[in-house]
Structure 1
């Protein structure tokens, strides 16, 4: 496969996944903002989401305070935000158009129809009671694309690079979400209503609130929430699950292209092994923030190594 084709498929998967992740995070933050203390508490919630989405520096350049209206616009319709929903939809469609012949009809229609419908939205779509409906629409379109890819693509290199981008973006999002609220998981954190709301918000952001109840059959506990999102392979958005899939996918790509493992495979295997054999107690005792910061940095390095070995070198 040509590197430019692999590059477009990889970033198609990343941008499509990113749009859905931002929509999930927005939905959870809206609930948290309703519970927060006036002004300062609300601003902290919106800044936490922008940290998780990796777009706080750009927001700070344009706004002095993280008011809800400005934050929602920045994360949804503002084309100046490269991690916002508008930019992700545009970039996903641009990459899909570049590799149109590598996609199935269902995949192309899912992306193209999303792009067409999104262009009809105006600022009224994110105001007041209409915002939750808009966010549900974004999530449903991401699920439609992922389902089309899973159900209709041949398991060849086109599938592998699309899937690789999706899973790498998903791992990055889970790590950033947990890190943005790491204070609620500290061993000395008070198990009060505020911390309970933070644990619930993290689970809602990855669609895992019901999964938690199914696995643990008990009320929310910080160690169990962290374990579910870090170390439980049954959860598709857990870090260990994501990096297991990244490792397998890189092995399949390598086997189909000469069988020579690269640095990206070594990094993926190292990350997977650390999580597979990790224990949540040790992670929390040594500091969840330090652990997640390391994972996020290594995820960036992994993306760079994948780009160097297989893609056009795009790493942003």
Structure 2
């Protein structure tokens, strides 16, 4: 397969997953803030959305204050933001177009409908009160698209490259959500707002942002706490949004793709992915709970390094 095609397939998967997680996080945090416990103001929620998206500095460089409509518009559809939800959906379609001869006509049509449904619903700037409708449209179409990926493609290198992008990006987004929530809780503690209800609320919205609240309650049968939520989202190998589950899928995809690897074993991407996957198989929450923030940072750095090596060695083209 040409590197150009592989690059398009891999990034199509990544952008699908990135758009879905950013849409859901923005929707859950903003909409649920209406029912938030006392002590959490709207600026706190807007900062959390920008932080998770990695857009805080870029937004503040353009806008002097946090304002509901400006933040939601910037994250979703603003032309000032090259990493808006709308731009990600455009990139999904462009990458699908670049690999058009490698994917099924059903998948291409689903992505094309996704693009036109989202763009067709816009009439200009997106007011904050429309985030529920806009985000759900992205989430639902993301699942439809991933259904066509699973059910209309041969499970060969094409499917594995898309799946690799999806699961690699899922690891990144779940870790970013956890990092953002740990940072949010630190800010609450610094402000002297340490009551249990407010922190438990933060962990509940973390689960909702990963569509994990219901399954968490079935597993743990207790209100969300730091220990249990971190354990569930990091180490539960049966939950498909957990880091452990997705790292196993990343390893399986890399092992299944016919990469020509000539470097020493310890420098190969197969070795890197296997080492990361095994880390989550044999660690326990007790070993990382007290150092969760540095653990998440090290893990995210390792995942970024794996993605960079994939790009440099196999997917880069000129």
Asked whether the two chains share a fold, i.e. TM above 0.5, the reply is yes
d(CA) in 2 for partners of 1:51 and 1:36? 21
Equivalent residue, structure 2, for 1:211: 215
Aligned: 1:44 with 2:44: yes
1:211–1:82 distance in 2 versus 1, CA, 3 Å? farther
1:267 lines up with 2:272 in the alignment: yes
Of the candidates 243, 246, 269, which is equivalent to residue 247 of structure 2? 243
Count of aligned pairs between the two proteins: 309
Would you say the 8 A contact 1:43–1:65 is kept in 2? no
Deviation at 1:204, TM superposition (A): 0.6
- Check if 1:145 corresponds to 2:145: yes
State the match for 2:231 in structure 1.
227
> Structure 1 CA distance, aligned partners of 2:236 and 2:184?
20
CA deviations on 1:172-230 (whole Å, 9 max, x unpaired) are: 000000000115778xx746121011001110111000010111122222211110000
Aligned to 2:100: 100
In the alignment, the residues of structure 1 paired with residue 3 and residue 276 of structure 2 have an alpha-carbon distance, to the nearest angstrom, of: 25
In the TM superposition, what whole-angstrom CA distance separates every residue of 1:207-266 from its partner, at most 9, and x where no partner exists? 00001011112222221111000000111111111111111110111xx34576653222
State how far apart, in whole Å, the 1-side matches of 2:81 and 2:184 are. 28
> 1:167 Cα shift?
0.8
Alignment of 1:74-223 (within 5 A): 74-122=74-122, 126-127=126-127, 129-183=129-183, 190=194, 192-223=196-227
Per-residue Cα deviation, 1:281-308 (whole angstroms, up to 9, x for no partner): 22112x2111111112112111100101
Match of 2:282 among 277, 281, 291: 277
Partners of 1:236 and 1:224 lie apart in 2 by 17
Q: Is the 8 A contact 1:231 1:240 kept in 2?
A: yes
Residue equivalent to 1:305: 309
Residue by residue, what CA displacement relative to the aligned partner does 1:88-131 show, whole Å, maximum 9, x if unpaired? 01111011111111111221011111112222233578435533
Q: What 5-or-longer segments of structure 1 have no aligned partner? A: none
Compute the RMSD of aligned alpha carbons.
2.3
Q: What is the CA–CA distance in structure 2 between the aligned matches of 1:80 and 1:201, rounded to whole Å? A: 28
Is 1:4 the equivalent of 2:4?
Answer: yes
Residue 137 of structure 1: SS of its match in structure 2? helix
Contact 1:185–1:284 at 8 Å: present in 2 too?
no
Q: Is the 8 A contact 1:304 1:313 kept in 2?
A: no
In structure 2, the CA distance between the partners of 1:313 and 1:82, relative to structure 1 (3 Å rule), is farther
Contact 2:72–2:131 under 8 Å retained in 1: no
Report the CA distance between 1:33 and its aligned residue: 2.9
2:16 is aligned to: 16
Q: Any stretches of 5+ residues in structure 2 without a counterpart?
A: none
Per the normalisation by structure 1, the TM-score is 0.90
